Structure formats: structure tokens, C-alpha cells
Structure 1
């Protein structure tokens, strides 16, 4: 089952991360409310993790007999690895770092986030794919042995409890931050600190399958209410910034599940205005190329600056985003899609 209105949100999250990395101080992102939002742009990765868990359930949650480990792993590998390795090679070519063999090996095998001393990666954003690797390895076990064998209430109690415990642990880890790079890499990038986000997405997917026929949840009202909460939240964060408050909470490791989970659920169920807009073919295509946008953002930024050398930050940012979207479209059409087709052909003939 494909839920097209969710696809465009991946593009929005990817662009939010791009602007967070490269658009600081550029109009209109230097306006008060948007400045606050962009300063928390890293939360786009957290959204990806929750959405990943949701999509896995929607795609496989009705397979009452379970899923094939081999087919699942091959499909996941075909989805992420061709573009992943393309981005890594491009990053090495354009940034020309001093390469350490073991670090490069860990990044090639997608295990760099498990080993904090190998971060930051040569292609900085690809740490999140290492986190996704843990999710992909665990998911067939979770589905076959837990989700398909238990009632939704029991699953919900476990996942909510796991999420609450993870937030307490994340808070305590943040309080005892010793300031070293390895400790920072562990508490922000290690796959296990993000597992709660994937599981929350799984549970949201199970709730979605159960409430498909709810007329109220299919209307625009829940989404409008959630957007109001979001705007009030941004206003509160802005007020905190202006008054010099230093919050001790960590938005990076799953706290925003409280917002992302209902957003994904309500948007998936929506059959009103939002569904009509987000289902436009152009917006769906932008969502489809979002993985390429995210993983290619650093090497293409370096390449863009080497080629064009634009001095005006505003012009440079918007031309770069157009350049990034165009290159990502090419990689999507000629690397990501063919890679998936090859795997499907292999599975069909196997």
C-alpha cells in the first residue's frame, strides 16, 4: 500500500535539513519564526526515522505469514545502497579528505554510527543510514515474532514504555555529557538511541491499519489542530530563545515522536484538502527523490561552490537547491530506480 500524501513530506524534511546545514541567515529563513524552525532543522532526520517505521508496517504489516528475510534484506539494500555508495564516492572525490582505511571501511559497510570514533563520516549525512541499518536488521524479527503474534494493546504498552524509558536515558546522558567528541557522537548518533523513533513509527502504522475507516480522522480537522500546536510550539521556542533559556531536553532522539506520530497518522488517513494537494504528481516526485537530496547534499554543495563561486548568499542558496534537485532527479532515475529493478528481476527469477 502506497500513501502518496506522505511522500512529499519526505521532501520537506530533506529540504529543512539542507537549509539547516547551508541556509543559516539567508532570507526568508532569517525571519524570527523561521529562524527558530531552521535552528532545529536536524529534527528532519528524526522524522525520517519515525516515517521509516510507519512505512515498514504499512508495506508488510498485513503479511500474516510473516516476511522472507532474504527478500526483505535484498529489497532494502537495493533501495539505499546504490545511491549511498554513489554519494560516498562523490564526497571523497570532491572534498578530498585524508582517508583512513578502517574509517572508510566502516562507512562503506554502513556501521559507522555503531562506532562513534569513526564519526563524522566522510559524507556527513550518511550516519543516519547506519542507524537505518539497525532498523532493517531488526524489523523482520519484530514483525514475525512480535507484531504478528500480539494484540495492538500489548504492542502499544511495550513501545510506549520503551519510548518513555529511552527519553529518560537520553536526558540523563545529556546531563552527564563530558564534552568529548566520542561521547557526543554516541548520545546523538548511535543507532540504539534512535530505536525508539522507529518503533514509534511501527506502532503508528499498526494504529493506521486499524483506523482506516474513521471518518473523523480522514477529515482536515485533526491536521489543522496539529498545525496549530506546531505553530504554538515554534512561538514558545522563539520566546525561550529571546529570553536566554537553555533547555536541557534533547529534541534529536525521539522527543518529537509526540508530534511526528500523529502528523503521519492524520496525514495518512486524510482524504480532504491536504491529501488532494500532497498527491499532486510533481510533489510526489519531489518526495521520491528526497533520499537522493538528503544523501547527496554535502558533495553536491562542495561541487556547486567549486564550479559557480557565487558571492551572494541568497542567490547561492537558491541556485544550489535547484542544482541539488536536478542532480538528485538524475541519480534517482538512473541509479536508484535501476538498482531496485535489478533486485526485483533477481527475486522474480530466483
Structure 2
């Protein structure tokens, strides 16, 4: 089952991460009524987790399984998908952070093994975006067992588990960030925002949604375009009204750990079921290419911005906003080249050699 109309949303989500890190004052983030959405990078990572579970189900779930999932081949495919570019970005950042590596010799091995998100104090060292791949690696490791559970007991049992984990996650997160013990960049902060178990609910929810979608795909009616747009508007409204909602409730809220995952699921489901001109437009080869290159864009953003700021920015004398868009253009080009010349070829080689 091909759902190419979803691919471009990965590029948009990755773009919000770049705006969050480097372009918070650039257009369109400069628009007060869109700022929270355009710079919703950490929340966009949660969208990635939901979408990852959904796509895994579409790719691997069988309505009438003929044989169990080949775990070794699956894990090799997942390794080939994310590790080469992840390692490239890590090596680039390690080369630029020799002092940090000398001060903490455990830092690089944890990142190399994709374990940094498990230990507070390490997720945001070296290549910051890499923490989310540490989380994703855990999801990839657990997926075959979750799929086996669905085959054995159906979706109801896992759905109950998902709801329980979701409730526990939101309770721990909200009570933690509103406690006196919480400060930014603290060990508690690292645990509630970056630990893999604090994001597990989003992946499971996406997986369950993908299973249900695949089971019912033959009988689903094409999505009404109005409903699709409404689901997107709902996400934007949730993002833009969060500061106001926090003020009304008198507490801090975080959408990073699955709180608005149901809204993401609604949008993904409707987009997956869409047909006609919307599907055709989103399946344009250029948009699909940008979506496929979004992983490189996401993981290479820090090295590219770092190199640009060090080597090019002092020589061109542009304004801060112009510098951001110049670097973003370079990043998009580098990401496409990375996908075409590095990521895809290495993925093919690894799959052939190890599988």
C-alpha cells in the first residue's frame, strides 16, 4: 500500500524543527498568529513518532499473516534507513566538539550506540536532534514484539495498554514540569522530554491506527477535502492557543509527549484516505523528493548551520534573517544530495550485504 501523499508532511515537520532552532524570528514565524505552529519543532518530533507507528503498520502488518515477521531482516532494514546519515552527522559534530568529548568520555559511545536519550544529561549533547533517533531506535526494536502481540490478541489489548501509558505519561509530564524541582536543562527535564518511555504512547497509537486503517482500507470512502483541511486547522489552533490555555489553567502544558496525538492521528488518517486532486498534488515528484530528504534535513541541520556560520557567514555580511534563509537553502540542497548520493545508496548496500 503506497501512501505517497503523506511523504511531504515529513518535510514540513522537519522544517518546523529548523525554524525552532534557528529561525524563530524569520517569516513566517514572525507572524504572531502562526509563530507557535511554525516553530513547533519539538511537537513535530511527536508527529514523527505517531507517523512512524502508522507507516510501520502499513508496511508490515498483514491482515492474514502467512509467516511471522523476519526480525533480523526488519532490524537490518531499519538500521540501514537511519544509521548512515545519523553517523555522518554525529562524526561531524564530534569533530567540532573535541573539548566536550575529552571532558566526558562516555558521551560519544552513548551517541554511537544510540543510547543517549536513556540517560539524563546526555540527550542534547553533540548532535542535539540525534536524541529523537535514540528514541526511534527503541521503537524499531520493539515493533516486531508489538506486532506479534496484535496478531495474538488483536488490537484491543494493546489499545488498553496504549491508553494507560498515555495517561501515565501525561500525568508524569504535567506534574513534573509544574513542580518546584523542575528547571530547564535539568536531569528531570531530560527525563520527561527525551526518555524513550515518555514517547512510547505516540508510537503505539500510530501503530494501532495504521493497523485499523489497513484493515478497513478497501471500504473507506475518500476523504472530504473540507474535513482534511479542518483537521489541519485543528492542529494549528491547538498549537496557537496553548499559551492562552496555559494562562487560563495556571499550569504549564507540553504537547511533545502525545497530548495532541489524537489530532495528529485524525489528520494522518484523513490524509491517507484522500483521493483526487489533493492526492495528486501531494504526490508531485518534487514534494516526494523533499519528503524523502527530510531525514537528512533533520539530522544534518546542526552541522550545516555550524559550518555555514563559521565559514560563510563572516564573508557575506548578510542580515540575520537573510543568513537564516541562505543557510536553510544550503541545508535543503545538502539534504537532497545526501538522500540521493549517500543515504539511499548506503541503504541499498547494507540491505544487500547483511540481509
**TM-score, normalization: structure 1?**
0.92
What residue in structure 1 maps to residue 54 of structure 2? Answer: 54
Alignment of 1:210-249 (within 5 A): 210-237=215-242, 239=244, 247-249=251-253
What displacement does 1:97 show?
4.3
Indicate yes or no: 2:352 matched with 1:345. Answer: yes
User: Tell me, what secondary structure is at the counterpart of 1:343?
Assistant: helix
What residue in structure 2 maps to residue 131 of structure 1? Answer: 135
User: Tell me, what secondary structure is at the counterpart of 2:100?
Assistant: coil
Indicate yes or no: 2:103 matched with 1:103. Answer: no
What residue in structure 2 maps to residue 122 of structure 1? Answer: 126
Moved more, 267-276 or 70-79: 267-276
What displacement does 1:157 show?
3.2
Question: Contact 1:163–1:200 at 8 Å: present in 2 too?
Answer: no
Question: Contact 1:94–1:303 at 8 Å: present in 2 too?
Answer: no
What residue in structure 1 maps to residue 189 of structure 2? Answer: 184
Alignment of 1:1-350 (within 5 A): 1-62=1-62, 63-99=65-101, 100-144=104-148, 146-176=149-179, 178-179=181-182, 181-237=186-242, 239=244, 247-309=251-313, 310-346=317-353
C-alpha distance in structure 2 between counterparts of 1:68 and 1:60, whole Å: 10
C-alpha distance in structure 1 between counterparts of 2:51 and 2:22, whole Å: 24
What displacement does 1:121 show?
2.1
- Give the unaligned 5+ runs of structure 2: none
What displacement does 1:345 show?
1.6
Judged with a 3 Å threshold, the aligned counterparts in structure 2 of structure 1 residues 41 and 117 are, in CA distance, closer, same or farther, namely closer
Moved more, 129-138 or 214-223: 214-223
Moved more, 228-237 or 246-255: 228-237
What displacement does 1:130 show?
0.6
**Between Structure 1 and Structure 2, how many residues are aligned?**
346
- Give the unaligned 5+ runs of structure 1: none
What displacement does 1:116 show?
1.0
CA deviation vs aligned residue, 1:195-249 (integer Å, no higher than 9, x gap)? 00110110110121123134545332331221332343345336558x7975422
Judged with a 3 Å threshold, the aligned counterparts in structure 2 of structure 1 residues 294 and 112 are, in CA distance, closer, same or farther, namely same
CA deviation vs aligned residue, 1:144-192 (integer Å, no higher than 9, x gap)? 2x11122334433332333233222322233336135111101110000
C-alpha distance in structure 2 between counterparts of 1:305 and 1:67, whole Å: 46
